[in-house]
Structure 1
Amino acid sequence: MFVSFFPKPKLFFLSAAAWTLFGVLLWFAGGRDFGAIIGLPPAAAGSPPILGIPVFWSAPFLWFYVYFVFLLSIFYLFWRFYAPHPWQNWSILVSALILFFTYINVEIYVAINNWRGPFFDLFQKAITTPNSVTAAELYSLFWIYALIGMMFVSVYVVMRFIVSHYIFRWRTAMNDFYVTNWPKLRHIEGASQRVQEDTMRFSTTMEALGVAFADSILTLIAFLPVLAGLSQHITALPLVGSIPYSLVVAALAWSIFGTVLLAVAGIKLPGMEFRNQRVEAAYRKELVYGEDDPNRATPPTLGELFQNVRRTYFRYYFHYAYFNVFRAGFGQADAIFSAVILIPTIAAGRITMGIWQQISTAFGQVSSSFQYLVTAWPTIVELISIYKRLQAFEATLHGEPLPELDRRYMEKHAQDQGAS
């Protein structure tokens, strides 16, 4: 699953995580100030944020682009000489490009949040003091928002095009790898489906989860300082009172609660999704045999196999039902949580409408990032089931025992063959 596309996967992912962490820590430890050496200094302390898309070609951002390319070049050259791989341009360079676009997408949301403050303060002034604000002032801020929106659309379209090709390249690498080893794999139940369908599903799901995870981490990096700064406007939290960095603490506590709640509620789902795929594969395989052999796919046999499909899915629906109860309930509570904790501050008149909008947006971004497992859990369930199916290939190629369900199927198949 990974060795076909990435060089020495375990070491590669560990080194990528370590190198990324090093780059982030170096950046915040003073790396962002190094740009001043080449005429790209950071923004002056206390200076107001640049509104709109000009921020993306300001000196701090230009230095970040140079910094990113420099660290990427070192990482790429190391792996190019240490462990050359036929797919390394896609697995390293294009992975980094997707990560870069993900970061730019996060910064677009930061730019929108910076726009919310002055716009909604101006909006509040306009509706509370008649004729104090001109239509031209409001239109000018709307134009800034429109330009940010156009940049978001452009980044989204380009990124999805690149991701589509990235997924198919990964599928191609897995397909070529498994086809090369087909004589060893063809005896595994549903082998054809695993090569033809599961490789595509695995690459697509892994990419989606990976991008979502990177987006969550980058959102935390971008918005946590914003949320920490906005905490100074909060008078007190309900039931807790006044604490340092109150909004950050509230977002973290709420997200941990939601993650644990849904992880416990959905703990049985991955194994059940895998069983769904197994009974579907057995039913499909008998139908395929019946196309060429009139003695196969008889009504009693198909009836029994479909009954297995029905029983497995109905059990799955039951467990997913109570999972959805917790998921939907938490989602509804999450939608109003930030407003509820701001009630004492709003009642005290400590914040303007612009600051309230900025807090709501930043809190939502940070909270959703902390809740990565909450939002991604259904996709994780699907990925685990696909992984379990492809794991039979990995075990066969490495001479390891098959997973339990596959082993039981092979034993039953051998008994059936012996009886016939």
Structure 2
Amino acid sequence: MFVSFFPKPKLFFLSAAAWSLFLILLWFFGGHQFGSVLGLGPADPGAPPIIGINVFWSKPFLWFYIYYTVSVLVFYAFWAWFAPHPWQNWSILVAAVVLFFIYFTVQVSVAVNNWYGPFYDYVQGLMSGSRQSTNAEFYWGVASFAWLALLGMNVQVINAFVVQHWIFRWRTAMNDYFMANWEKLRHIEGASQRIQEDTMRFSQIMEDLGATFVKSIMTLIAFLPVLIQLQQHITELPIVGAIPQPLVIAALVWCVFGTVAVMVAGVKLPGLQFRNQRVEAAYRKELVYGEDHADRAQPVTTKELFNNVRRNYFTLYAHYVYFNVVRYTYLQADGIYALLILGPSLVAHKITFGVFSQISNAFDRVANSLQFLLNSWSTIVELQSIHKRLRAFEATLAGEPLPTIDQHYLDRQNSGMRPEDQPAS
């Protein structure tokens, strides 16, 4: 699954994580100041933040673009020398472009959050009658947001296009790799479906989860300092009172609670999803045989196979009931949690409308970044079931024993049992 697209996958991902961590630490512990050599140093301490789209071609951002580009090229050059791979341009360079686009969209969110404060304080002044303005000033403030929204939207459109091609290249790499070994793999149950469908689904889900995880980390890195800076307006939390770092603690406790609850509720879903793919494959395979052989796909056989499909789906639906109760109850409560946290400060007149908007948005961003497992659990369940199916290919090619459930099928096949005679589980 990975060796077809990435050079020496285990070492590659470890080195990518280590290199990324090193670059992040270097940036925060002095690297952001290295641009001063090129006249692209950070803003002066105490300088007001740049509001609007101009921030993206300010000196600190221009230096980051250079810093990122050089770092990627160094990493690419090392792997091109250490372990050349036919797909290295896509698995390294294009992947780095995707990561940059993710970073850029996060920074657009930060820029929007910075826009919230002064604009909504301005709106509050207009509503209370304490500030005089003109139509032109108001529309200029709205236009500042519109430019940010337009930029973020177009970057996401371009990123979606690049990601689609990146996913298909990964599928192509897996397809070519498995088809080159077709004679060794063709006897595995549902081999055609695993190559034709599961490779695409695997690469698609891996990209989706990977991009979501990276975006969560980048969002946390970008918005956590914003939240820490803004929480100077919050002196205490409901019930617990005054504590250090109140907003960060509140977000962390809430997200850990929700993640653990959803993981416990969904612990049985991966196995059910895997069995669901097996019974669907058995039913589909018999129908395919029936297209060419009159003695196959007889009503008695297809009825039994479809009953297996129905039985597994109904079991899956039953387990999803309590899983969805836990998940959606938490997500509904999540919508009002920030209001409960900020309630005492609002009642005490300690924050303005602009600060309230900034804190609410930053709190939601930090909370969502910490809720990666919770928001992605259903997708992770699907990925686990697909991984189990493709893992049989890797085991065969590596000369390892098949996974237990596939070995069970192979034993039955060797004993002469037809696919329709196999039990659903």
Deviation at 1:235, TM superposition (A): 2.1
Contact map agreement 2:125 2:131 (CA 8 A) in 1: no
1:413 matched to which residue of 2?
413
Output the CA distance in 2 between the equivalents of 1:417 and 1:70. Answer: 59
1:105-163 Cα distance to aligned partner (Å, 9 max, x none):
00000010000001100000000016623222211110001101110121011101100
CA deviation string 1:286-326 (max 9, x = no partner): 10011111111111111111111011110000001110000
1:343, CA displacement in angstroms?
0.8
In 2, distance between residues paired with 1:237 and 1:131?
A: 32
Report the Cα distance in structure 2 between the residues aligned to 1:91 and 1:341, rounded to whole angstroms. Answer: 43
Tell me the residue number matched to 1:341.
Answer: 341
Gaps of 5+ in 1: none
Deviation at 1:37? 1.2
Identity %: 60
Which amino acid in structure 2 is aligned with residue 108 of structure 1? V
Alignment match, 2:276:
276
Equivalent residue runs for 1:218-229 within 5 Å: 218-229=218-229
| 1:328-359 alpha-carbon deviations (Å, 9 max, x no partner) | 00000100001101111111111000000000
| Matches of 1:55 and 1:109, distance apart in 2 | 12
Change (3 A) 1:243 1:94: same
Equivalent pair of 1:113/1:362 in contact (CA under 8 Å)? yes
Matched residue, 2:40: 40
Question: How far apart are the structure 1 equivalents of 2:72 and 2:345?
Answer: 45
**Is the 2:338–2:363 contact (alpha carbons within 8 Å) kept by the matching residues of 1?**
yes
Q: Is the 8 A contact 1:235 1:344 kept in 2?
A: no
Q: Write the distance in 2 (CA, Å) between the matches of 1:86 and 1:301.
A: 46
Decide whether the 8 Å contact of 1:235 with 1:350 is kept in 2. Answer: no
SS at match of 1:416: coil
Does the CA-based 8 Å contact 2:122-2:131 persist in structure 1?
A: no
Name the count of aligned residue pairs: 420
Could you report, residue by residue, the CA deviation over 1:10-52 in whole angstroms, capped at 9, with x for unpaired residues? 0000000000000000000110011111100111112111111
Deviates more, 1:168-177 or 1:248-257: 248-257
Question: One-letter code of the match for 2:363?
Answer: F
In 2: Cα distance, 1:359 partner to 1:66 partner: 31
1:192-244 CA distance string (max 9 Å, x none) = 00000000000100000010000000000100000000111002101111122
Name the structure 2 match of 1:315.
315
The answer to whether the 8 Å contact 1:5/1:174 transfers is yes
Query: Which residue type is aligned with residue 68 of structure 2?
Result: F
User: Offset of 1:274 from its aligned partner?
Assistant: 0.6
* Structure 1 pair 53–201 and aligned structure 2 pair: CA distance change class (3 A): same
Q: What residue is the counterpart of 2:168 in the other structure? A: 168
Equivalent residue letter for 1:127: M
Equivalent residue, structure 2, for 1:266:
266
Give the distance between the partners of 2:337 and 2:63, measured in 1 at CA. Answer: 38
Aligned-residue CA RMSD in angstroms?
1.3
Amino acid at match of 1:246: P
What is the match of residue 325 of structure 1?
A: 325
In 1, distance between residues paired with 2:168 and 2:131?
A: 57
What aligned pairs does 1:165-244 form with structure 2 within 5 A after superposition? 165-244=165-244
Partner of 1:287: 287
> Is 1:31 matched up with 2:31?
yes
Q: Distance in 1 between matches of 2:60 and 2:242?
A: 35
For residues 297 and 414 of structure 1, the distance between their equivalents in structure 2, rounded to whole angstroms, comes to: 21
Please, what TM-score do these two structures have when normalized by structure 2?
Answer: 0.97
CA separation in 1, counterparts of 2:10 and 2:418?
Answer: 41
Matched letter for residue 221 of structure 2:
I
How far apart in 1 are the matches of 2:367 and 2:417? 55
Instruction: Name the aligned partner's letter for residue 322 of structure 2.
Output: Y
Partner of 2:390: 390
- How far residue 418 of structure 1 moved from its aligned partner, in angstroms, is 9.4
Which letter does structure 2 place at the counterpart of 1:187? H
